[in-house]
Chains A and B, each alone.
Chain A
């Protein structure tokens, strides 16, 4: 009896520990990076908008806070989008347009912006919105006591002041082109509520989670942790009240559950993954769903760690890209649901996209030739060798992303054709990210995706200054490119800046720090009763105010 008890106790401990371990090792969370759905808009509408109805949207992942100066995740950003307005927002061509600002003037040196605010805008508690609110909000991330992660977007501000109750003047340290689309898109917070909270403690303010108040089309109602966030329409919204009464942002554990719940009618709107497209199209045929598709503002790539001597020579990296049949990858891995990428820019950002960069289309013969030029010769087992070292490396990617896992295998086979040996290694997301992006960069090659922002500045990813502590974890470095990147943000004329960015794209494409693979498509799937849904690359729930639900 005694023996069996201790055995049971031992077993129980094993159960507990294995619980921890299995929880650590499980699959099916996808990265936040490429899950942002950024797409161009398509309008679908039939008949006259009707008011009323409740919308349930599904999301993988929980929000963390509803304060735009502290949140870093997509769900929080989605809900902040319902509740708050920025000074500016973007139109369908990703150009800045006024949101709380009616208009703005820029001084000729590009340093001083004067914003004229819309009149008659009220906070959701009835108090009037004024210029002081803008000054207050932008000063949060500029404060020494600020503890959030959003400071870098506000670093360029030298001075900000309210000229009168409806005019704000912001002076920059130096011309900063992304200012209007990036910095000015942050939600404005009410000074009359948060003004007394010390900035040191603002990350923990009740306002952020229990009682956020904004100027937006929807008012916060309730957040049930792990279940949903609910908002209701703001009848006094300055741009006219929304059509849909309430939006419930339902939190669902994973993509499979999301799809199941959509099929069961528990969710009206969701992002549809490429891998589920067939199921989605089936539902469309049954009249149970509508799908909208456009190019995502993302790209997927294979990055090469240039600290590894294997990848130092640009010829080698070009050869690796030549050896990849990207058309075949898109066909076999994505079911054709994407478009070949040759640059780090997106075709959606038309004014800054260079379609004529050097491209390395599938050509294994050329790949072999380039590798031979770089001194690599086939060894006895067919694998290339140089100075007694084999061309052999591991290619890492994160678990749970089927497309990336398959790319790793396909790339392995394609590279084998040219005598390069790659071993796929699949790791859990958090572990993978730490190994790849932080010192000492424990990877040879990795498959990842970037979700691009509205502004096409490539500095954070490719500048050599960002190698040690930044996101340039492949350690790409080119002085000429560094110079152009430093220049790009200081040119306020969009056409001129576009030219510089196009040059950068061409240069980076030539150097191939990444094998740029493809731009995936983004899909949204929704209940056919939902009308006027607008899909936009840069913003989820674009113009949510104008969406409406067909009653019966």
Chain B
């Protein structure tokens, strides 16, 4: 197992390197640069040139890349080009807690809501319950995240102001946990919907698969009651593939965060990513790209390790 993990980590290195080269090239070859906002008759064009020169943006892309790589290998993401005098690391660290909170809560929400529904529909296949759950989850898969976000925002924040319209806390009010939770519910729910539908389908089919197994039939034949069979024998085995999805969901949350954070004005790294992309804040874009790429790799690794834990039969 240990050697397997080490092997996987070693494989990840060239992979991440490749991702960094491709991303760096795409980002720098895209037209536009960080000075596109300096369109002011009071700003001399020579200042724009000086800026580009000062940050080495006039050098060939491969030289910029190696400089960036060398810096990054030393654990330094560089300075933001837009936020003056702020390092990329401190910028990301200041936003990270918000995104982590959103991700963890929405992951929990997704699991808590979808697994019971999946099981419910698996244990009553081809009934109205099953069809309802199936229909709703297919609707969930088919509906874009941002649309759900906007509809909920319009309904619950503007027409019936039960929830706040955005932000992480009420401004000009003392800190309270309830206030934070209040702000968290809508965005976390919307972010969760992205995975909820899939998870429901996944746990349903996994459960159905398990219920068809011989050992369940045997257990039933021995006289165990239905629910006991389902929860004692079936659940554990059916959850196995579902749990491994955790690792794969993590990266999708970052992608979803860009959308959800900008709808709900949630100051996390998704919103930072969006702003950085618009402003061509290259160091920030690269740092966030590498962080999410690393998360994907780690997510996959976690998925594999979880496999081994829930299913001791798997050998490496």
Closest to A183 in B: B42
Q: What is the CA–CA distance of A470 and B82 in the complex, to the nearest angstrom?
A: 22
The one of B37, B44, B83, B262 that contacts A152, using a Cβ cutoff of 8 Å: B44
The one of A246, A434, A466 that contacts B172, using a Cβ cutoff of 8 Å: A246
**CB of B47 within 8 Å of the partner chain:** yes
Shortest Cβ distance from residue A33 to the other chain B in the assembled complex, whole angstroms? 6
**CB of A13 within 8 Å of the partner chain:** yes
Chain A residues whose CB sits within 8 angstroms of the CB of B36 once the complex forms: 429-430, 433-434
Chain A residues whose CB sits within 8 angstroms of the CB of B44 once the complex forms: 149, 151-152
Contact (Cβ within 8 A) B42 A20: no
**CB of A294 within 8 Å of the partner chain:** no
The one of B48, B95, B171 that contacts A248, using a Cβ cutoff of 8 Å: B171
Contact (Cβ within 8 A) B262 A16: no
Shortest Cβ distance from residue B109 to the other chain A in the assembled complex, whole angstroms? 21
Chain A residues whose CB sits within 8 angstroms of the CB of B82 once the complex forms: 64
Contact (Cβ within 8 A) A264 B161: yes
Chain B residues whose CB sits within 8 angstroms of the CB of A5 once the complex forms: 300, 303-304
Q: What is the CA–CA distance of A435 and B300 in the complex, to the nearest angstrom?
A: 41
Contact (Cβ within 8 A) A13 B19: yes
The one of B40, B85, B272, B303 that contacts A204, using a Cβ cutoff of 8 Å: B85
Contact (Cβ within 8 A) A257 B263: yes
Closest to B286 in A: A20
Known: A20-B289, A208-B85, A260-B165. A72 touches B40 (CB 8 A): yes
Q: What is the CA–CA distance of A306 and B303 in the complex, to the nearest angstrom?
A: 60
Contact (Cβ within 8 A) A19 B292: yes
Known: A64-B82, A248-B172, A453-B42. A260 touches B153 (CB 8 A): yes
Shortest Cβ distance from residue B61 to the other chain A in the assembled complex, whole angstroms? 15
Q: What is the CA–CA distance of A254 and B165 in the complex, to the nearest angstrom?
A: 13
The one of B32, B51, B168, B296 that contacts A16, using a Cβ cutoff of 8 Å: B296
Chain A residues whose CB sits within 8 angstroms of the CB of B49 once the complex forms: 469
Shortest Cβ distance from residue B275 to the other chain A in the assembled complex, whole angstroms? 7
**CB of B118 within 8 Å of the partner chain:** no
**CB of B204 within 8 Å of the partner chain:** no
**CB of B187 within 8 Å of the partner chain:** no
* Cβ proximity bits B150-179 to A, threshold 8 Å, 1 near / 0 not: 000110011001001111100110000000
Shortest Cβ distance from residue A426 to the other chain B in the assembled complex, whole angstroms? 14
**CB of A24 within 8 Å of the partner chain:** yes
Q: What is the CA–CA distance of A205 and B86 in the complex, to the nearest angstrom?
A: 10
**CB of B84 within 8 Å of the partner chain:** yes
Greatest chain A CB density within 10 A among B46, B84, B271, B300 is at: B84
Contact (Cβ within 8 A) A430 B293: no
* Chain B contact patch, size range: 35 or more
Q: What is the CA–CA distance of A18 and B22 in the complex, to the nearest angstrom?
A: 12
* Cβ proximity bits A1-42 to B, threshold 8 Å, 1 near / 0 not: 000010011001101111111111010010111000000000
Closest to B154 in A: A260
Contact (Cβ within 8 A) A261 B166: yes
**CB of A490 within 8 Å of the partner chain:** no
> Which A239-261 residues have a C-beta within 8 angstroms of B?
246, 248, 250-254, 257, 260-261
* Cβ proximity bits A431-444 to B, threshold 8 Å, 1 near / 0 not: 11111010000000
Task: Tell me whether chain B's interface is mostly helix, strand or loop, or mixed.
Answer: helix
Shortest Cβ distance from residue A10 to the other chain B in the assembled complex, whole angstroms? 10
Contact (Cβ within 8 A) B296 A13: yes
Contact (Cβ within 8 A) B165 A23: no
Contact (Cβ within 8 A) B274 A26: yes
The stretch of B129-137, B229-237, B247-255 in contact with A is: B247-255
Q: What is the CA–CA distance of A437 and B30 in the complex, to the nearest angstrom?
A: 16
Chain B residues whose CB sits within 8 angstroms of the CB of A264 once the complex forms: 157-158, 161, 164-165
Chain A residues whose CB sits within 8 angstroms of the CB of B86 once the complex forms: 209
Contact (Cβ within 8 A) A260 B275: no
Q: What is the CA–CA distance of A26 and B275 in the complex, to the nearest angstrom?
A: 10
Closest to A258 in B: B265
**CB of A62 within 8 Å of the partner chain:** yes
Shortest Cβ distance from residue A84 to the other chain B in the assembled complex, whole angstroms? 17
Contact (Cβ within 8 A) A257 B277: no
Contact (Cβ within 8 A) B251 A16: yes
**CB of B27 within 8 Å of the partner chain:** yes
**CB of B100 within 8 Å of the partner chain:** no
Q: What is the CA–CA distance of A251 and B255 in the complex, to the nearest angstrom?
A: 22
Contact (Cβ within 8 A) A430 B171: no
**CB of B78 within 8 Å of the partner chain:** no
Contact (Cβ within 8 A) B31 A265: no
Shortest Cβ distance from residue B313 to the other chain A in the assembled complex, whole angstroms? 12
Greatest chain A CB density within 10 A among B15, B157, B166, B293 is at: B166
Closest to B255 in A: A19
Contact (Cβ within 8 A) B165 A64: no
**CB of B273 within 8 Å of the partner chain:** yes
Contact (Cβ within 8 A) B252 A15: yes
Shortest Cβ distance from residue A76 to the other chain B in the assembled complex, whole angstroms? 9
Known: A16-B293, A62-B275. A261 touches B265 (CB 8 A): yes
Greatest chain A CB density within 10 A among B39, B91, B248, B289 is at: B39
Contact (Cβ within 8 A) B262 A19: no
Contact (Cβ within 8 A) A470 B47: no
Chain B residues whose CB sits within 8 angstroms of the CB of A15 once the complex forms: 251-252, 255, 296
* Cβ proximity bits A260-290 to B, threshold 8 Å, 1 near / 0 not: 1101111000000000000000000000000
Additional pairs, 12, CB under 8 Å, beyond known A18-B255, A20-B26: A16-B19, A20-B285, A21-B26, A54-B172, A225-B91, A248-B171, A253-B274, A257-B265, A266-B165, A430-B32, A434-B36, A469-B46
Sample 6 A-B pairs with CB under 8 A, ordered by A number: A5-B303, A16-B289, A26-B277, A148-B47, A429-B278, A430-B280
The 7 closest A-B pairs by CB, nearest first: A430-B32, A226-B267, A460-B41, A204-B85, A264-B165, A431-B31, A23-B277
